[in-house]
């Protein structure tokens, strides 16, 4: 990290005569903190330096650092703890474990229902198809880890998931590892592979299962399902997971909060 002082504003180079873009100082500091998070200088769950220490490191005011951290906290990248400091957010935290779980039981909250029972059908290293490579910003044929699993609630198969992960970042991932970890899968990705998913984009549509999918979910081929395709990103918008799930919604619903 550079310890050089910053100007009040940084001006991006103009392209094609366009108006120059100004980057506020706190945004520059936010970018440097993100860079440290991406490089693993501070691990998920660990404390980051104090605002005073970061201000001295970057040679800016404490208020500038505070504004940068405010944005990082609003984006769930760091968490403030009263009297203790600021910590790198982690999927192991109880109140964020269900952040990406949108399927909830009609009878109540997912936390009451408890974690799903997992059955991993397959986990192997394969070469990325064109669509998988495009989603993960890889080249066609690059190695990826591909997994398929069924998530059941109260013994009822409810979700069929196909997951693709960059082979280099998740080298060595096994079916046993996926099946045995008791916490959220994203927490295991943090702990075992140093990859933290910080946001996701999803596409949703209604579909019918093919014969194999119907067999795995113990349903008929005319049972309507919710298809959810998710791309999850780590810091600086690097795609690190493609997940395609088929959701049975006769006793569950997909719930999202808009703000």
The region of weakest confidence among 17-21, 74-78, 211-215 is 17-21
What is the CA angle 22-27-30, rounded to 5?
Answer: 160
Q: What is the pTM for the complete model shown?
A: 0.75
Give the residue-averaged pLDDT of 58-79: 90
**Topology at the third CATH level for domain 104-254:** Chorismate lyase (3.40.1410)
Q: What is the DSSP string of 81-133?
A: ETTTEEEE--TTSGGGTTTT--EEETTS-HHHH-PPEEEEEEEEEEEPPHHHH
CA nearest 148: which of 136, 169, 133, 164?
A: 164
In order of 27, 74, 149, the CA distances from 132 in angstroms are 32, 31, 18
**Topology at the third CATH level for domain 9-88:** Arc Repressor Mutant, subunit A (1.10.10)
Q: Residue 90's pLDDT band (boundaries 50, 70, 90)?
A: confident
The region of weakest confidence among 37-41, 134-138, 145-149, 150-154 is 37-41
Q: Is the pLDDT of residue 16 over 70?
A: no
Q: What percent of the chain has pLDDT over 90?
A: 53
Task: Tell me the domain boundaries of the chain.
Answer: 9-88, 104-254
Stated as kind and residue range, the H or E segment containing 58 is helix 51-58
């Amino acid at each position: 990290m550079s310890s050089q002082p910053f100007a009040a504003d940084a001006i991006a180079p103009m392209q094609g005569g366009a108006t120059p873009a100004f980057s506020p100082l706190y945004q520059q500091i936010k970018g440097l903190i993100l860079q440290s998070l991406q490089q693993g200088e501070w691990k998920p769950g660990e404390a980051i330096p104090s605002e005073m220490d970061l201000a001295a490191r970057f040679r800016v005011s404490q208020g500038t650092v505070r504004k940068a951290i405010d944005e990082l906290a609003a984006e769930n990248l760091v968490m403030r703890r009263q009297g203790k400091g600021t910590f790198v957010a982690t999927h192991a935290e109880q109140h964020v474990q269900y952040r990406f779980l949108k399927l909830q039981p009609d009878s109540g909250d997912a936390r009451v229902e408890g974690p799903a029972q997992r059955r991993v059908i397959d986990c192997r290293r394969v070469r990325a198809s064109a669509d998988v490579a495009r989603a993960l910003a890889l080249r066609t044929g690059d190695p990826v880890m591909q997994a398929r699993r069924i998530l059941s609630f109260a013994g009822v198969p409810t979700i069929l998931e196909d997951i693709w992960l960059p082979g280099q970042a998740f080298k060595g991932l096994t079916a046993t590892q996926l099946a045995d970890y008791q916490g959220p899968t994203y927490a295991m990705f943090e702990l075992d592979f140093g990859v933290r998913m910080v946001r996701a984009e999803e596409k949703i549509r209604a579909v019918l299962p093919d014969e194999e999918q119907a067999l795995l979910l113990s349903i008929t081929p005319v049972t309507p399902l919710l298809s959810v395709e998710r791309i999850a990103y780590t810091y600086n918008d690097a795609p690190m997971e493609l997940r395609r799930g088929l959701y049975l919604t006769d006793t569950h619903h997909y719930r999202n909060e808009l703000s």
